[in-house]
């Protein structure tokens, strides 16, 4: 190991604190407490580590006092745990011999800025540099974006062939390919991959973004070309894709990677660039992200982003995704409901969509049980329940609907509730308990009435003066009947439940605990539901669909 040095990654920075020190890296940080003397120990340790020390010398001196020994062990252990130490060949960056006797000068010594960058991000800087020098990169394109990509690849130390003419922007280095596109005001760079896949994704993205045709301004061209080059360099060098380097500033937990194919989207006025999840039809991945983040992404999601906007939020939470309006007891539930209603337009006819398998299956089985004969349930069996009473009062008192609810037991542990007003069926629900069935049906009926009132309400004075339309108002009301159910994946309530709370505080959270047993009872009544394929895009988002048992598709 005489040819190897252990260095502190250049990205690491330390700050003294009142009781110790705080060390920050690219993706994580740690704090060591124990007294002001820790900063002195850090300064004596960090100086040699910045230059590099043989790995066997990074140890606690035998003559160190117990307190100093414990401090050194703790700091060195934290540096290793947070990946802030890296091995480099002796002479790395100054033309010396590399590990195993191979001179990295034979590869073309990396400039100091590239050497520092590789020390900051690469697991093995020398191996990454070897990979970068292993092939000649090719830029196919025209104009400023191609020129920017060529400059960026050359600056990273790659051998780059002269630019080849071609439409769009395509960068190739060995088996790695990155495609990019641009218009007058928008540009993008797709994830690296095989040439056929990246070209297909680039074509689909160009159609999705539908930017106005034209030559991009110099700053956008430079951003798109450089971003595409960055992704190619990282793929060739075995480095993390830039999309995985985005870290929540409030969390020290490194991301596990983008939930799907990540695409950089750049726009001007103001100039900005962000990575967005892309539901690729040719490179689908296993779902690894929330539906709201992926399916409703504001740039690349196939359905409009579900938002409350200026829709009223009492007593029912409302959200809209395009023309689809969703309901719920929380904003998250309303946004998810709106998202699923909007996504139905993209699904095959007869498919019952859900946020996951339990939700989709539960909706399909409930739909099959909707018209089963049964025996009436008296009002006494549900009217004493606070949740059912609350939502029923919202229907008949808050919105003054001339409504009636019909509650029927259609099987052992299976109850249906239907809300009608003026001869029209507004909503229905099928649940295990009469109170839950009435609560869901009444919640949906109240939400529908609330959305209809929002549609007919005149715009605010400031909107009227500016001639603005209500951006989230559903233009034709909410098509009914509306179905909400206990199979939905309700978000966990914030904070710990107080000892005196009961189900009425967080309803309907917790109903899914009994969903498997309830679905077994539904199958006994209506039979099995068959899964329905939704295609690579919706399935990559995590959506699941079933056909209604007994229905003809």
Section 161-178 average pLDDT: 92
pLDDT given for residue 198 in this prediction: 93
Per-residue pLDDT band for 457 (boundaries 50, 70, 90) equals: low
What does the alpha-carbon distance between residue 213 and residue 196 come to, in Å, rounded to a whole number?
A: 24
As beta bridge partners, residue 141 has: 169
Instruction: Put residue 334 in one of left, alpha, beta given phi > 0 → left and psi -120 to 50 → alpha.
Output: alpha
> pTM for the whole thing?
0.76
CA-CA-CA-CA torsion sign (242, 243, 249, 251): negative
What does the alpha-carbon distance between residue 14 and residue 1 come to, in Å, rounded to a whole number?
A: 28
The pair of structure tokens assigned to 34 is 């124990």
The pair of structure tokens assigned to 427 is 């909503």
Tell whether the model's pLDDT for residue 538 goes beyond 90.
no
pLDDT given for residue 68 in this prediction: 84
Q: What is the pLDDT of residues 373-412, one digit of tens each?
A: 989 999 888 988 989 999 999 998 888 888 899 999 998 9
Q: What is the pLDDT of residues 286-326, one digit of tens each?
A: 665 677 778 888 888 888 888 898 888 889 999 988 888 88
Q: What is the pLDDT of residues 225-250, one digit of tens each?
A: 999 999 999 999 998 888 886 544 43
Residue 218 DSSP SS3: helix
Beta-carbon contacts of residue 406 (< 8 Å; ≥ 6 apart): 376, 417, 418, 420
Q: Where are the alpha helices (DSSP H) in 133-270?
A: 143-155, 195-209, 218-237
Nearest to 268 by CA among 223, 333, 238: 223
pLDDT given for residue 189 in this prediction: 93
Nearest to 265 by CA among 304, 305, 214, 210: 210
pLDDT given for residue 166 in this prediction: 87
Instruction: Put residue 52 in one of left, alpha, beta given phi > 0 → left and psi -120 to 50 → alpha.
Output: left
Residue 304 DSSP SS3: coil
What does the alpha-carbon distance between residue 347 and residue 166 come to, in Å, rounded to a whole number?
A: 37
Tell whether the model's pLDDT for residue 469 goes beyond 70.
no
As beta bridge partners, residue 416 has: 408, 430
Contact 398, 315 (CB under 8 A): yes
Domains of the chain: 4-89 (3.90.930.70), 135-249+256-285 (no CATH), 291-459+470-491+503-553 (no CATH)
């Amino acid at each position: 190991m005489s040819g190897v040095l252990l260095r502190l990654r250049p990205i690491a920075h330390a700050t003294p604190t009142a009781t110790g020190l705080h060390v920050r890296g690219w993706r994580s940080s740690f704090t060591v407490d124990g007294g002001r003397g820790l900063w002195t120990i850090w300064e004596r340790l960090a100086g040699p580590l910045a230059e590099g020390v043989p790995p066997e010398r990074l140890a606690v001196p035998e003559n160190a006092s117990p307190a100093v020994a414990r401090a050194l062990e703790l700091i060195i252990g934290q540096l290793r745990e947070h990946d802030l130490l890296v091995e480099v060949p002796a002479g790395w960056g100054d033309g010396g011999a590399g590990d195993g006797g191979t001179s990295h000068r034979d590869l073309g010594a990396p400039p100091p800025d590239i050497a520092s960058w590789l020390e900051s991000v690469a697991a093995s800087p020398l191996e990454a540099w070897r990979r970068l020098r292993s092939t000649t990169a090719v830029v196919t394109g025209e104009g400023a974006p191609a020129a920017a990509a060529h400059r960026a690849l050359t600056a990273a130390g790659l051998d780059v062939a002269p630019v080849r003419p071609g439409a769009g922007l395509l960068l190739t280095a060995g088996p790695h390919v990155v495609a990019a596109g641009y218009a007058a005001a928008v540009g993008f760079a797709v994830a690296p991959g095989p040439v056929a896949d990246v070209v297909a994704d680039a074509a689909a993205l160009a159609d999705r973004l539908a930017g106005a045709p034209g030559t991009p301004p110099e700053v956008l061209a430079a951003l798109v070309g450089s971003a595409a080059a960055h992704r190619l360099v990282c793929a060739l060098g075995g480095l993390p894709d830039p999309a995985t380097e985005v870290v929540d500033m409030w969390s020290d937990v490194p991301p596990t990677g983008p939930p799907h194919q990540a695409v950089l989207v750049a726009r001007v006025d103001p100039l900005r660039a962000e990575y967005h999840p892309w539901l690729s039809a040719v490179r689908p991945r296993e779902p690894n992200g929330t539906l709201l983040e992926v399916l409703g992404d504001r740039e690349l999601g196939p359905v409009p982003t579900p938002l409350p906007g200026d829709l009223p939020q009492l007593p029912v939470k409302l959200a809209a995704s395009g023309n689809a309006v969703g309901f719920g007891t929380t904003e998250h539930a309303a946004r998810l409901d709106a998202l699923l209603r909007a996504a139905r337009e993209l699904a095959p006819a007869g498919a019952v969509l859900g946020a996951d398998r339990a939700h989709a299956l539960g909706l399909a089985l409930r739909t099959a049980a909707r018209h089963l004969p049964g025996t009436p349930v008296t009002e006494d069996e549900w009217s004493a329940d606070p949740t059912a009473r609350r939502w029923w009062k919202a229907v008949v008192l808050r919105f003054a609907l001339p409504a009636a609810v019909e509650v029927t037991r259609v099987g052992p542990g299976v109850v249906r509730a239907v809300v009608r007003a003026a001869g029209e069926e507004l909503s229905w629900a099928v649940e295990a308990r009469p109170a839950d069935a009435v609560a869901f049906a009444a919640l949906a009926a109240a939400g529908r009435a609330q959305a209809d009132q929002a549609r007919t309400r005149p715009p605010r004075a400031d909107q009227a003066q500016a001639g603005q339309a209500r951006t989230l108002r559903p233009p034709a009301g909410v098509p009914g009947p509306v179905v909400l159910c206990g199979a939905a994946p309700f978000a966990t309530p914030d904070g710990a439940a107080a000892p005196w709370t009961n189900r009425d505080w967080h309803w309907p959270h917790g109903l899914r605990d009994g969903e498997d047993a309830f679905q077994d009872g539904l199958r006994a009544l209506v039979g099995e539901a068959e899964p329905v394929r939704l295609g690579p895009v919706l399935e990559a988002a995590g959506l699941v669909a079933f056909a209604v048992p007994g229905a003809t598709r």
